[in-house]
Amino acid sequence: MTHCSDEALILHHYGEDTTHERHLASCAECDARYRDLASVLQAVNVVQTPARGEHYGIEVWQRIRHQLPEREPWWRAFIDEWQWAAVAAAAVVLVAAGFAVGRLWPALPAESIAVRSEAAV
């Protein structure tokens, strides 16, 4: 004869599994275990959770949001603060190089510009 497991007895106590009723009625050992287990489970106070209001999530957020660290933008994860100086310096160098190249690049003769504009028409 297979006796009921403790899990089955607990489920039976809470009314979630009624398949062991016949075995409990015919087996004194399981019935005794069930009565012991039921007395322990009845001694445990079941705390009823309070009903949550419609705005429970917002209330919780308002309560804890000041305790959370400031959220950084996603791109800050890629660049540390000390790297900002390098990024700024690189940007300045690129702008200066672009300006210098624009000033020093040999300009096309006026004739070739006229020929190109006529060919385009």
- Complex with Zn ion: residue 3 or 116, whichever CB lies closer: 3
Q: How far is the CB of 4 from Zn ion (least distance, A)?
A: 6
b or e along 86-117 (b: 16 or more beta carbons within 10 Å of the residue's beta carbon)?
eeeeeeeeeeeeeeeeeeeeeeeeeeeeeeee
Contacting Zn ion within 39-78 (CB under 5 A) = none
Residue 8 touches Zn ion, criterion: CB under 5 A: no
Q: How far is the CB of 38 from Zn ion (least distance, A)?
A: 15
Residue 37 touches Zn ion, criterion: CB under 5 A: no
Instruction: Give the binding range for Zn ion (CB under 5 A) out of 24-32, 43-51, 93-101, 108-116.
Output: 24-32
Residue 30 touches Zn ion, criterion: CB under 5 A: yes
What is the residue-wise DSSP string for 18-79? -TTHHHHHH-HHHHHHHHHHHHHHHHSPPPPPPPP-TTHHHHHHHHHTTTSPPPPPGGGGTS
Dist. CA 107–CA 28, nearest whole Å: 107
Q: How far is the CB of 18 from Zn ion (least distance, A)?
A: 16
Dist. CA 7–CA 10, nearest whole Å: 5
Out of 10, 13, 17, 27, point to the residue binding Zn ion (CB under 5 A).
Answer: 27
Q: How far is the CB of 20 from Zn ion (least distance, A)?
A: 9
- Binding residues (CB under 5 A) for Zn ion: these are 3, 27, 30
